[in-house]
Amino acid sequence: RKEVEQDPGPFNVPEGATVAFNCTYSNSASQSFFWYRQDCRKEPKLLMSVYSSGNEDGRFTAQLNRASQYISLLIRDSKLSDSATYLCVVSRYSSASKIIFGSGTRLSIRP
């Protein structure tokens, strides 16, 4: 089983729609969780950290479910500029020595 698994997509949704991605992780000792965004041929960029209590940043909401070992990202009122690959990222231990990326979920927003 992969350490971090994501639905590769692509998700193709109309502008203004709400879209949600899930990501599962296999190691219960994982401590830190993040969503990164990667545009084509560019470097990954941090979108948001994911906290146990869930957190929101504008149109983006992230949730963590430790019991089921998954994290989610919800995007409301999607914009054309949201089109990108969304990477689920998990840090296995409380130290930062190894940070694992999921394969990414491709999102395409159509006008």
Does position 26 interact with another protein (CB under 8 A)? The reply is: no
Alpha carbon distance 111, 13 (integer Å): 9
**Looking at beta carbons only, is 8 or 16 nearer to another protein?**
8
Query: What is the closest distance, in whole angstroms, from the C-beta atom of residue 6 to another protein in the complex?
Result: 9
Alpha carbon distance 63, 74 (integer Å): 8
5: Cα within 13 Å, side-chain hemisphere: 9
Does position 43 interact with another protein (CB under 8 A)? The reply is: yes
CA-to-CA separations, 55 to 8, 9, 83, 96, 102, in angstroms, rounded: 24, 24, 21, 21, 20
Does position 45 interact with another protein (CB under 8 A)? The reply is: yes
Query: What is the closest distance, in whole angstroms, from the C-beta atom of residue 86 to another protein in the complex?
Result: 12
Query: What is the closest distance, in whole angstroms, from the C-beta atom of residue 31 to another protein in the complex?
Result: 7
**Looking at beta carbons only, is 24 or 78 nearer to another protein?**
24
Can you tell me which residue has the tokens 């009122």? 77
In the complex, the residues that contact another protein under the rule CB under 8 A are 31-32, 34, 36, 38, 41-46, 49, 87, 89, 91, 94-104
